[in-house]
Copies of this chain bind each other. A is one copy, B any other.
Amino acid sequence: MFLSKSFGYAIRGILYISMVQDEGRKVQVEEIAEKLAVPKHFLGKILQELVKNGLLKSTKGPYGGFELTPDTMEKSLLEIFKTTDDAEQLGHCELRFNKCDSDHPCPLHHNVLKIREDFVELLSKTTVKDLFTGETALTLDRIATNNL
């Protein structure tokens, strides 16, 4: 509806890495994909994009793999969204009018804008760390078995 499949995979990938890399070990796509029951190569490309955008760190070769950067936990979901989804679309009129802005609003413009703002605010104010706190906090088991 709002978010791409890639976004979900990205989030879950980051979450998995953060939960198993405690003893400093790096994690391979192979393992992540298997545990999350997600297509390996597709996930690989997504993680690759996250690395390009500074949300993860990767190392090639033996003992290589993916790991969090020092500030991955502080990143907002909006930053992840920007690497996996086309943020441009947030500006397009839902009724597909060419010109639709605050000066020439379509009948749904103001209402849609409000909902979008709520959505963007949710993504902005939620950090990766936040996903581990509160009553809906995640556990490794729930992420890995994809049985949340």
Contact = CB atoms under 8 A, between A and B. Distances in A.
B94 A8 contact: yes
B94 A147 contact: no
Q: Indicate how many identical chains form the complex.
A: 2
Nearest to A146: B98
Most chain B Cβ neighbours within 10 Å, of A7, A130, A148: A148
A96 interface: yes
A110 B2 CA distance: 15
A4 to B, nearest CB: 9
Contacts of A105: 136
A122 interface: yes
A97 B146 contact: yes
Interface stretch (A46-54, A65-73, A111-119): A111-119
A17 B67 CA distance: 57
A112 B69 CA distance: 28
A136 B148 contact: no
A106 B132 CA distance: 10
Interface string A130-148: 1100101110001000111
Most interface-central of A3, A7, A112, A118 (chain B CB within 10 A): A3
Contacts of A130: 107
A1 B94 contact: yes
A41 interface: no
A5 interface: yes
A14 to B, nearest CB: 11
